Homo-oligomer: A and B are copies of this chain.
Amino acid sequence: MKDDYKVIKNGGVTSAQGFVAAGISSGIKPAGKKDLAIVYSAVPAQIGATFTTNLVKAAPVKVSFEHARNGSVRGVVLNSGNANACTGVLGIKNAKSMVEKTAKALDCRPKEILVCSTGRIGVQLPMPKIERGIKRTVSKLNVDGGADAAKAIMTSDTFRKEFAVCVEIDGRKVTIGGMAKGAGMIHPQMATMLCVITTDANIDKATLRKCTYEAVEHSFNRITIDGDTSTNDTVMVLANGMAENPLIKSYHPQLGVFQKALVTVMRKLARMIVQDGEGISRVVEVNVKGAASNADAKLAALAVAHSALVKCSWCGGDPNWGRLMDAIGYSGARVKEEMVEIYYDGLVAVSNGEASRTPMAKLRKIVRRPAFTITLHLHLGSGEYSVLTTDLTEKYVTFNKGE
């Protein structure tokens, strides 16, 4: 194993030692679909968490933010089908009530519980159903409950998103696993996405937080489907120390191993979210290289990834690189048209800002693949950025049209 990770088959949020989970149908969603989940650690866990940057924050985000700031935690309660966002004072009361009921059933303090909600905005939670549901969920907590929990947080997701790896740190086996949900409103700076990661690593709070921020920056903050940033996004990492490795602190020689494994888990879950984008047909990695700065590279990459026209052409399998040139031109990044090179899966489409000799038929073949990479080289410096995105399809529109 050494410094490399090993993927755990069917791994998820209960792969790490000491974690149990469950997911049930509490009646928030119609038709008996699972909509309530709890993840619980047998011992207190350190917590690293990032929340939506949206100024309109859902009630559970406000409550969880406070609890994550404090000491260690024991668990998380999550519901789908209702975002508990734009629900005013009653919304906050309900989020707190979810926390209290969960803490009571688990015999811990309310501030040791985090809460997440996802679903439609502006509707109050059906609290009696949820309160009854919490008791039932706690009674079902078990080490094989990860899949049920992952199912219970799904909204428009078409498949469960779970992943886990283990690594060796100072001679101890450390496991990191998690679950996530997408699938629309996905955008850098978080999205309607929830992600709970659990690990048995023994790591101090400050180091865990730093690792969490960095890993989110290189995974969930590098995906975008529709450019909308949701009110509810939350990524949390719970570390309960049960692997009994020597405490990981900053400058710990094995910190890189833990960090790499954490990024691996988050990237894998992030890619699953993109692959499960609402109604999409292609996953596209947009790489910008040679920008005047990293900030410029980010501007250019996001302009491409957010352009409705670019995304439509991908949907049609049309290598319309003119729309890419257009997008980088208005991105705000420094661009010299006559320096630009564009590659589709390594095949040159544009050189010196003009059409290359590559036949369109060859490029078309690439853009019709379910996944491909576009690299834009600006030849102005060493700035780089990369983002994972999707096409824009009729199905996406149909899906998001309404009730």
Contacts and interface: CB of A to CB of B under 8 A. Distances in A.
Given A56-B328, A353-B86, A312 B401 contact: yes
* Copies held by the complex: 2
Interface in A75-129: 83, 85-88, 120-123
Interface in A281-340: 306-309, 312-313, 315-318, 320-323, 325-330, 334-335, 337-338
Nearest to A87: B354
Interface stretch (A2-10, A33-41, A225-233): A225-233
Interface stretch (A11-19, A195-203, A215-223, A389-397): A389-397
Contacts of A350: 86, 122
A326 B396 CA distance: 19
Nearest to A355: B122
A228 B352 CA distance: 23
A366 B390 CA distance: 32
Interface string A241-284: 00000000000000000000000000000000000000000000
A54 interface: yes
B88 A352 contact: yes
Nearest to A119: B322
Nearest to A190: B330
A338 B91 CA distance: 12
A32 interface: no
Contacts of A400: 308-309, 312-313, 316
A320 to B, nearest CB: 7
B184 A325 contact: no
Given A308-B226, A392-B397, A393-B397, A185 B326 contact: yes
The 5 residue pairs across chains A and B that have the minimum distance between CB atoms: A121-B322, A316-B401, A316-B402, A318-B402, A56-B329
Given A54-B329, A86-B325, A317-B402, 14 more contacts: A56-B329, A57-B329, A85-B325, A85-B326, A86-B322, A88-B338, A122-B325, A227-B306, A228-B323, A231-B329, A313-B402, A315-B397, A316-B400, A318-B401
